Amino acid sequence: MSAGTGVSGNGGESKFARAEQAARFVLARTGLRPEIALVLGSGLGGFADELTEPVHIPYREIPGYPEPSAEGHVGRLVIGRVGGVPVAAMQGRVHLYEGLSPESVVFPMRVFGCMGIRAVILTNAAGGIARELKPGCLVVLQDHINLQGTNPLIGPNEDRLGTRFVDMTAAYDPRYQELALKEGRRLHLDVFGGVYAGLTGPAYETPAEIRYLRVIGADVVGMSTVAEVIAARHMGIRVLAISCVTNMAAGITGQSLSHAEVLETGERVKGQFIALLRAVIPHIADDLKESGGRTIER
């Protein structure tokens, strides 16, 4: 299979073998060995430009790595440092709505696990459902509701990646939530805790669907993240996820929704978002040092 074409769901190679091959390719390009990774969503990829000692690897060069087609997703992996802490940052992700399989969507997360990543910070642009939210505020995810109609763990389990049945009780690490909320308030940011509803897209939700999501407990809604969190927890990777509210969901303001608004709001709050990530990453690094161990043995 050529690089950048996505991951086949069948064939002779196992999920682990494909992910391990890509991980070895990435690690051969840098002397850094990060234990923290970031996935930067729509309009939020600018954080990767802040890394020092950067090594840039286009997704198309990584064996099996899927390339994003959505605007605002650069399609590049950047390995570098944040305040001295080695990190791997994805500038853009792929989505189910691009016609990819769940396994393709989570393939980068599998690669992170094989690289030795132990904690991941997932970011996304989301629509605000809770009435106290407004465009530009940040929401530290406490839980999710999977309405994407699928799960990346369906099919034969790869025991070298993780156990068959995964506990999702604390899918979003409670300690990391606390750290992010504390640092956000210290920086005087508009930061909240909340529940993310994951749908497939690419159509935005209808006003009736937003009313339904509010009733079942969702605070924000988007088209990503859920599958990545499931795959991360399958491999024992700890998760922090932060949504940037880029627009209010359908029917709340009466205005039409557009991807241009998503990108514009992401650009407007980029400085606040970068400040929060810079504040949180050293704390996560310290926590990983104290806990010791690695996720997947390479």
- Look up the CATH number of the domain holding residue 156: 3.40.50.1580
Q: Which of 13, 56, 97, 264 is catalytic?
A: 97
In a domain, 143, yes or no: yes
Asked if the structure places residue 144 within a domain, the reply is yes
Q: How far apart are CA 87 and CA 281, in angstroms?
A: 9
Which residue in 20, 67, 98, 209 is the catalytic one? 98
- Among the listed residues 196, 247, 279, 285, the single catalytic one is 247
Residues in the chain: 298
Domain-embedded: residue 8: no
**Which of the following is catalytic: 56, 259, 275, 283?**
259
Does a structural domain hold residue 1?
A: no
- For residue 3, the 8-state DSSP code is T
Residues in the chain, pLDDT under 50: 1-12, 297-298
Q: Between vectors from CA 78 to CA 152 and to CA 25, what angle results, nearest 5°?
A: 70
Distance CA 95, CA 122 (A): 14
Given a contact cutoff of 8 angstroms between Cβ atoms, the answer to whether 218 and 167 are in contact is no
Among residues 70, 109, 115, 223, the one annotated as catalytic is 223
C-alpha angle 63/56/184, rounded to 5°?
110
- What total number of domains does the chain contain? 1
The predicted-structure confidence for 7-35, as pLDDT tens digits, reads as follows 444 444 788 999 999 999 999 999 999 99
Tokens of 26: 């990435």
Reply yes or no on whether 223 is catalytic.
Answer: yes
Separation CA 112–CA 293 (nearest Å) = 15
CB atoms within 10 A of CB 185: 11
Indicate if 259 belongs to the active site: yes
Domain assignment present for residue 190? The answer is: yes
In a domain, 10, yes or no: no
Please indicate whether residue 90 is annotated as part of the active site.
no
Catalytic position from the list 19, 23, 37, 42: 42
Distance CA 221, CA 226 (A): 11
Catalytic residue among 95, 176, 218, 279: 95
* HSE, side-chain direction, 13 A CA sphere, residue 81: 7
Q: Out of 104, 124, 224, 243, which one is annotated catalytic?
A: 224
Strand partners, 194: 141
Bridge-partner residues for 287, per DSSP? Answer: none
Angle between helices 270-291 and 259-268 (to 10 degrees): 70
Catalytic residue list contains 97: yes
Clarify whether 73 is annotated catalytic.
yes
Residues 188, 194, 196, 197, CA torsion sign: negative
Question: Catalytic pick from 67, 73, 180, 218?
Answer: 73
Residue 4 lies in a domain: no
Would you say residue 43 lies in a domain? yes
> What are the tens digits of pLDDT across the range 236-256?
999 999 999 988 776 576 667
Q: What is the DSSP letter of 257?
A: -
- Domain, as residue range, for 156: 15-291
- pTM score of the predicted model: 0.90
In a 10 Å sphere around its CB, with 0-12 CB exposed, 13-18 middle and 19+ buried, how is residue 2 labelled?
exposed
Check if 42 is active-site: yes
